[in-house]
Structure 1
Amino acid sequence: MSALVTGAARGIGAAVVRALTAAGHRVVATDLQPPRPAVPGVPGLALDVRDTAAVIAAVARAEDLAGPIDVLVNVAGVLRTGPVTGTTDADWHAVLDVNATGVFRVSREVGRRMADRGHGAIVTVASNAARVPRAQMAAYAASKAAAAHFTRCLGLELAPAGVRCNVVSPGSTDTPMQRALWTTPGGAAAAVAGDPAQYKIGIPLGRIAEPGDIAAAVAFLASEQARHITLQNLVVDGGAAL
């Protein structure tokens, strides 16, 4: 089986590449710049999910390299924080274009191919911020909510063709994006404890996630073990969203 992963250069995307490779998939990893392989031998392609022509070309190239795509994992994402009243049109559009419209572009191109073949699995990595309001993160939260609901709507349309579409929604995860939010050396501890001033509760399980925790959930939903699961949103956040 073959798999295409976006946003695969680091963090959750790189962990997904490792998990799917370990599960026996022929993986093609993509990012803005061709990612260094998280696993030796995994080909990397440059892909800007904001560019429809680039998406079409990258999907075709991925199938040349690894065969018909059986699994698509949408991980590519960006984060811009700040109050809504200080968010520019450019900031808003930049976040939505990658996190939501990028998922649409890639899923549309891969989904039509999967539907023609009568099988496939699409997993979108969203965020628990799509379910719980977050101060200073409105654009990001809105984009992830859009991506999650789009993926489930796509799953409803593609179910008759045998294509499953699901969402994994992480909470705080030890990635470069998460670390960029930490303003003190104790950032992980602060995430676990919560921040009443930002209306964030803590994490009941007492730790932030590792990228592999998220990748394991993705790999499960992409596998035959989940063959009767579609239209679902699996929250992997240690209980933070309650």
Structure 2
Amino acid sequence: MSTEGELTGRLALVTGAGRGIGEAVVRALVERGACVLATDLMPQGAERLAERYADHVTARPLDVTDATAVEALVAEAEDTLGPLDIAVNVAGILRSSPAVDLADEDWAATFAVNTDGVFHVSRAAARRMAERGSGSIVTVASNAAGIPRAGMSAYAASKAAAVMFTKCLGLEVAARGVRCNTVSPGSTRTEMQRAMWAASGEDDEAAAVRRVVEGDPAAYRTGIPLGRIAEPADIAEAVAFLVSDRARHITLHDLYVDGGATLRA
């Protein structure tokens, strides 16, 4: 089935759109005909997308931790760009540390973006979508939400909370025609992943990828059965499917896109 034009006439809001998975999501939606409001705390990457896709992308700065700013931007978008059909929560941060050494501010900052941000954006979008009787919300979470990871307690907990919030929201708005799903990536070739490698002293990306693929029993990490880490486009394709009419009967679903890394534990 061709996906060309399947999102024509629809308006999408994407957070964390400046790079990595967020940027790939914007590209995937535009390629299918959607118009996208691309937002990011640091808007330069989103602005580059707006320059490239001038007829389909509008760039705006957005701090998802600021509920007032989120509500104002969504209201502005509906007034100037049209009704919001799709919302994709991609903005996220990672503060790694052993749990007993984790600083209060790192815990709070992680939840402020990864969980509160999802709540702010999803709430603003769902209110309007439910009134109209249609819409799709996708939260990009992590496979770490479903399996323990050493040194990632704040990140994993925040993503698990975001997954369950999205499912609960989906249950509440399902009768109003709004679908809410999550996509949970594993290791993906992004700046966040590279920062993790750098923090561990790994400066050879090929060697780092090989170690991720092979796994690390000492750290209780399985490898990746498919033998490769994901590219941002792999995650974006899953998002694009879930917001499309091809997924019209899918809601409250958590789609793992991790090459089998968690063995779906």
The residue that corresponds to 1:166 in the other structure is 181
Aligned ranges 1:70-149 → 2 under 5 Å: 70-149=85-164
Separation (CA, whole Å) in 2 of partners of 1:198 and 1:97: 28
**Does residue 21 of structure 1 match 2:24?**
no
Separation (CA, whole Å) in 2 of partners of 1:133 and 1:9: 29
The residue that corresponds to 1:233 in the other structure is 254
Secondary structure of the structure 2 residue equivalent to 1:50: coil
Root mean square deviation of aligned Cα: 0.9
Q: CA deviation at 1:65?
A: 4.1
The residue that corresponds to 1:36 in the other structure is 47
| Runs (5+) with no aligned partner, structure 1 | none
Specify the code of the residue in structure 2 equivalent to 1:156.
Answer: L
Q: CA deviation at 1:160?
A: 0.6
CA contact (8 A) 1:36 1:44 kept: yes
Q: CA deviation at 1:71?
A: 0.4
TM-score (norm 2): 0.89
Separation (CA, whole Å) in 1 of partners of 2:84 and 2:34: 10
Separation (CA, whole Å) in 2 of partners of 1:82 and 1:104: 25
Which segment drifts farther, 76-85 or 175-184?
A: 175-184
Distance 1:73 1:119, change over 3 A: same
Aligned ranges 1:182-201 → 2 under 5 Å: 182=197, 183-184=201-202, 185=204, 186-201=207-222
The residue that corresponds to 1:50 in the other structure is 65
Separation (CA, whole Å) in 2 of partners of 1:235 and 1:62: 31
Specify the code of the residue in structure 2 equivalent to 1:207.
Answer: R
Q: CA deviation at 1:58?
A: 1.3
The residue that corresponds to 2:243 in the other structure is 222
CA contact (8 A) 1:8 1:75 kept: yes
Q: Deviations over 1:121-142 (max 9, x none)?
A: 0000000000010000000000
Separation (CA, whole Å) in 2 of partners of 1:85 and 1:210: 32
Specify the code of the residue in structure 2 equivalent to 1:40.
Answer: Y
Q: Deviations over 1:157-204 (max 9, x none)?
A: 000100000000000000000111113212111111111221111000
Separation (CA, whole Å) in 2 of partners of 1:90 and 1:111: 30
Aligned ranges 1:197-212 → 2 under 5 Å: 197-212=218-233
Separation (CA, whole Å) in 1 of partners of 2:238 and 2:158: 21
Partner of residue 213 from structure 1, selected from 234, 247, 250 = 234
Please list every run of at least 4 consecutive aligned residues from structure 1 whose deviation after the TM superposition is greater than 4 angstroms: none
The residue that corresponds to 1:181 in the other structure is 196
CA contact (8 A) 1:33 1:45 kept: no
CA contact (8 A) 1:27 1:66 kept: no
Q: How many residues of Structure 1 are paired with residues of Structure 2 in the alignment?
A: 242
Separation (CA, whole Å) in 2 of partners of 1:22 and 1:222: 14
Specify the code of the residue in structure 2 equivalent to 1:3.
Answer: A
Secondary structure of the structure 1 residue equivalent to 2:37: strand
Percent identical across equivalent pairs?
A: 62
CA contact (8 A) 1:174 1:208 kept: yes
Q: Deviations over 1:202-223 (max 9, x none)?
A: 0000000000000000000000
